[in-house]
Structure 1
Amino acid sequence: MKAKYFRRFIILMVILVVLAGSALYVWQSTKPVTASTEPVIFTIDKGTGTSQIADNLEENGIIRNSLFFKVYLKLNNEGAGFKAGTYAFVPGQSYKEIVTALNNGDVQQEETLKFTIPEGYTLKQMAEKLDTEGATVKELFMDIVNQPELFSSIPIVAEIKDNTDYLFKLEGYLFPETYELAKGSTAEDIIVRMLTEMQEKLDSIPDFEAKLKARGLTVHELLTVASLIEREVVVPEERPLVASVIYNRLESNMRLQIDATVQYLLGKQKERLLYKDLEVDSPYNTYRNTGLPPGPIAAPSLSSIEAALSPETSDYLFYVTKKDGSSEHLFAKTYEEHLKNIEKSKESAE
């Protein structure tokens, strides 16, 4: 009798030990791994199943046991909403924290290179800004923008003709915008992105090719006119009107006499141009030469491009900036009217 009870006692103890061991095993397997301050980078590719995700979590030391994690997902009806991406998990996180992060798509934010190129900037100004912000070396940038053959796969670049008169071959082709690229992007990467943006902006204009053909312009000529508008106009509403003045003067075989072209060839901004500046021998000097300069003088905005493509209809041949601080212009059809406007402009400053 005693032997019978003793055997039962032994069996019961074995069962209790097994249960305790099992419970301890489950507890050990489901509790978070040892906490650490060092994050573990973990990537989930699109189409990866929850079973594989669980196995990968264990392999990366983020959880102790993938089987129990799978059971946890099954019991809580989780896993279907997990999002692909690269995550940074800290060892010691609970199942709940891991699942929440995967459901929310709390992916690691990739380090990026962000910069803004203002409208009307020249390539030199872009190079200076990008160099100052640590995006690239200005000398390298300026060297590459004179090699359009590197970017001939982009349609607008393929149209650039070989011309020794260009100061910088890609002037006016890099669209002014705020950009965000991957950290470590090269000068060439930056230029490709900006050229592509210009191509996309032109392609976004309704009936672009038809309008360009109707005006009898090439893309290069369009960007040249747009750059003149960009550098001459501050008030957006005046851009189509200034565009009409440019075209009217071209059609009348008049010199454009645009100060911005002289500023460009001098390579610096001057508050006041002197007579000797206007006499500088350069194909960009629109005081000495008729027609358009060889190419753009700055990066035009989309509104300046649209104004160059669809100018206002007018008979104006002249304009002068008001000196009242408004940055607006007074327009004239004749030189006599223009002289009167110059006087009005002076009076407005008094």
Structure 2
Amino acid sequence: MLVLRLKYSRNIWINMERDKSQGIRMRSKVAAALAITVTILGISAYAIREARKPAPIVDYAPNERGGETTIVIPNGASGDQIALILFNAGVVKSARAFFAAATRNEKSKGIQPGTYAIETRIPGSEAVTQLLERKRRLMVLLIREGERSYEISEELLRLDFSTTEIKRIFNQSIEVPGFGKRDAEGFLFPATYNLLPGEGIDSVKNRLLEKFQSVAQELDLESRAESLGFSPYQILILASIVQAEGFSESDFKRIAQVIYNRLELGMPLQMDSTILYALKERRIAVSSKDLQLSSEYNTYRRKGLPPTPIGNPGKSAIEATLNPEVGDWLYFVTTEPTITKFTKSYDEFLKFKREFKANLRAGRFDGEQ
């Protein structure tokens, strides 16, 4: 009985020792695993802290600046949009350089939409400063092809020129080299003009005239007009009608030929655009009452050309007038937007007019002028 108890006791002891040994090994493994976990967590925390640190801002140094460029900040542009505009224009080295500088500068909230003359390759803080300088902000005068002088005067009023200044240009004859004293209409060449703050009305007028003369010389207006049997001023009048009546360059060339054909046959031009000019209106069509208008611009009642251009034609309309497409057309009708049909036949002309009226009733011309 005693032997059995000893044997039993020894087995228990052996099992206990084995369990103790396994427990030590298990605790070692757990401790090692915990140590590895802590290390990994430590590395992860460090990596997260490093990742959260902002990357260094790439910026130009003050001595890296380049020449000037022109940028446009549209209405409603956000800070990051302005930053991207500046970056794409080569003003700042990175969008973040400007955005960070603007965030630090409370005055940056005063940056306005508009066109600016600004230096390139400058620090973000300098870009903020320059956008806040009034002298950097350009006034933009946009003259569209075919725009009339009174419409341009309204644009100049919007740019804070006085009524008195504007009248001095538009209500009096101006001296145009090669043309003598003329009404300003026709010589205010369509283009986009960046005006400097404080620039006077006379300077603006001279820039418009210089642009016109540059294009006139490029097109050899004087000699080509003479070869057609017209004066340069008459070509300008014709081109203004072509501009007002047409939608495309191909239309321009054909409309010019229609005018030449009618003049040659002694027919009245019968152009709606000349009547609408006298009425100071822009519409798709004229009424029977309009046709009775007593005006030297009524080319239904008066033969020949109106006394002045009826707008300010662009280069393509002037070129088309100097180089019309050969054809025997006497009539044309814009039957639907961008589609103009030409014919020599009066009956076909009446058919085109019916098409136009049907499309007008159907609303095809809604929004057109």
- 2:344 counterpart of 1:333: yes
TM-score by length of 2: 0.58
| Residue 209 to residue 271, structure 1, CA distance change in 2 (3 Å) | closer
- 2:288 counterpart of 1:275: yes
Q: Matches of 2:283 and 2:348 in 1, distance apart? A: 27
Which residue does 1:73 correspond to in 2? none
**Number of corresponding residues:** 234
- 2:227 counterpart of 1:214: yes
Shift of 1:219: 1.7
The structure with the largest helix share of the pair is: 2
**SS class of match (2:198):** coil
Q: One-letter code of the match for 2:205?
A: I
Q: Matches of 2:188 and 2:237 in 1, distance apart? A: 13
Which residue does 1:131 correspond to in 2? 157
Shift of 1:213: 1.2
After TM superposition, the structure 1 = structure 2 runs for residues 108-147 of structure 1, keeping only pairs within 5 Å, are: 110-134=136-160, 136-147=161-172
Shift of 1:313: 0.8
Shift of 1:216: 1.3
After TM superposition, the structure 1 = structure 2 runs for residues 22-41 of structure 1, keeping only pairs within 5 Å, are: none
Q: Does the 8 Å CA contact 2:252/2:320 hold for their aligned counterparts?
A: yes
1:188 to 197, 202, 206: 202
Shift of 1:243: 0.5
Q: Please give the per-residue CA displacement for 1:282-321, whole angstroms capped at 9, x wherever unaligned.
A: 1111011000000100010100000111111110000011
Q: Does the 8 Å CA contact 2:272/2:285 hold for their aligned counterparts?
A: no
Q: One-letter code of the match for 1:119?
A: E
**Bigger RCO (CA 8 Å, 6+ sep):** 1
**SS class of match (2:289):** helix
Which residue does 2:5 correspond to in 1? none
**SS class of match (1:329):** strand
| Residue 226 to residue 110, structure 1, CA distance change in 2 (3 Å) | same
Q: Does the 8 Å CA contact 1:229/1:239 hold for their aligned counterparts?
A: yes
**SS class of match (1:172):** coil
Q: Does the 8 Å CA contact 1:127/1:137 hold for their aligned counterparts?
A: no
**SS class of match (1:112):** strand
- Give the 4+ runs in structure 1 shifted more than 4 A: 108-111, 346-350
**SS class of match (1:290):** coil
After TM superposition, the structure 1 = structure 2 runs for residues 1-350 of structure 1, keeping only pairs within 5 Å, are: 110-134=136-160, 136-149=161-174, 152=175, 154-158=176-180, 160=181, 169-205=183-219, 207-323=220-336, 326-346=337-357
Q: Matches of 1:292 and 1:286 in 2, distance apart? A: 7
| Structure with the greater alpha carbon radius of gyration | 2
| Residue 271 to residue 142, structure 1, CA distance change in 2 (3 Å) | farther
Shift of 1:115: 1.8
Shift of 1:271: 4.5
Which residue does 2:45 correspond to in 1? none
| Seq. identity, % | 34
Shift of 1:113: 2.9
